[in-house]
Amino acid sequence: MTAIELRDVTVRLGDRVALDRVSLSLDHRRIAVIGANGSGKSTFARLLGGLVTAESGSASVLGIDPAHRSTELRRRVGFVFSNPDAQIIMPTVAEDVAFSLRGERLPKAESVARVAAALERFGLGALADQAAHDLSGGQKQLLALCAALIREPSLVIADEPTAYLDARNSRQIADHLLSDAGHDLVLVTHDLRMAGRCDVAVLFDAGRVVASGQPDAVIERYEALLSC
């Protein structure tokens, strides 16, 4: 179970209050985060991963305070962002996935075998030696996901992972993220169908949580908010 606890958390970015006294307690495997542009979703995701710090309040993710032990948290968290180009680090597909395992100091043969198995699982086996930057957008996002999941993180934080993908690729990424039993998921998305497949949804508006609970009910609340 993902244990996420926020108590009265405020995050300021520049002169903006991006999160405004947010309190939340979530113990669900798949958490959807929805809301209008600029409502604070990405800031929330980044806070959970220790990428931004709170000005006040307290937070706990997987029992870890992201502000104080973010290195430990980052070992247990995998990130996937909307722009897969920004996530490619190494020249070829196989090298890029192998790079994710560098911290584990595995024997070479074991690393090669794990990379090959992961590439097969994500349908990238035939592309192992291709230049990563030459992949299509959908293939790049699969590569980013593969590189994040090969470390077997306890929690995956995905921030609009299907933003630039067509319907077929979106579905493929969504299926991997949502059906993989091995990790918990925090999914920031504008795709309400994808949000509806999660176990709980959280709705942000102007930096505050305005609803959380059963996804269909929260999505309905969001649609009502949008039509105001």
**35 part of the interface to ligand ATP, by CB under 6 A:** yes
State the nearest-atom distance from the C-beta of 38 to ligand ATP, in Å. Answer: 4
**37 part of the interface to ligand ATP, by CB under 6 A:** yes
Total residues at interface with ligand ATP (CB under 6 A): 12
Which residue, 37, 36, 41, is CA-closest to 24? 41
Q: Which of 4, 6, 9, 18 binds ligand ATP (CB under 6 A)?
A: 18
**172 part of the interface to ligand ATP, by CB under 6 A:** no
**Residue 39 or 170 with smaller CB distance to ligand ATP:** 39
**Residue 149 or 209 with smaller CB distance to ligand ATP:** 209
Q: At what angle do helices 137-149 and 108-121 cross, to 10 degrees?
A: 130
Q: Which of 43, 87, 169, 189 binds ligand ATP (CB under 6 A)?
A: 43
**Residue 37 or 71 with smaller CB distance to ligand ATP:** 37
Residues 111-170 that bind ligand ATP (CB under 6 A): none
Interior CA angle at 13 toward 11 and 17, to 5°? 55
Single out the segment in contact with ligand ATP by CB under 6 A; choices: 9-17, 68-76, 134-142, 194-202: 9-17
Single out the segment in contact with ligand ATP by CB under 6 A; choices: 8-16, 22-30, 90-98, 179-187: 8-16
Site for ligand ATP, rule CB under 6 A: 13-14, 16, 18, 35, 37-43
